[in-house]
Amino acid sequence: MRARRSEVIETAGEMHELGGNNANRKHSAEYKADFYAQLLGFAEARGYKPGYAFFAYKDKFGVQPSMTKPAPQTPKLEVINFLRSRQIARAKMAQKVAA
């Protein structure tokens, strides 16, 4: 008998994508407003101008914020991770341009 090369076991059912790109996901207005408020809180805590939050929002959702400016909130891990990923991407792009 031939030995199995993989530990994958097939079962009947439906396949669903796990993780991956969230670019096509529709976000609620509440989610966007909360995210923007957290971006404003991050910018305020770091001493950045409010435009930082505006452009970070635009980077995340592809559109500018259409709601009135919410009160800044303490950023949660999701927002911090998003901003960190953007900082890493910018640093890598700068290295690529410099090389």
Structure tokens at 82: 């998003």
90: Cβ contacts below 8 Å, ≥ 6 apart: none
Cα 69 from chain centre: 20
Residue 13 in domain:
no
Q: Which domain holds residue 82?
A: 29-98
**pLDDT one-digit tens code per residue, 9-45:** 778 888 777 665 555 568 899 999 999 999 999 999 9
Q: What distances in angstroms separate CA 34 from CA 26, 29, 48, one per listed residue?
A: 15, 9, 19
Domain count, the chain: 1
* Whole-prediction pTM: 0.72
- Residue 9, domain member (yes or no): no
- Residue 23 in any domain: the answer is no
Give the helix/strand (H/E) hosting 56. helix 50-61
In a domain, residue 80? The reply is yes
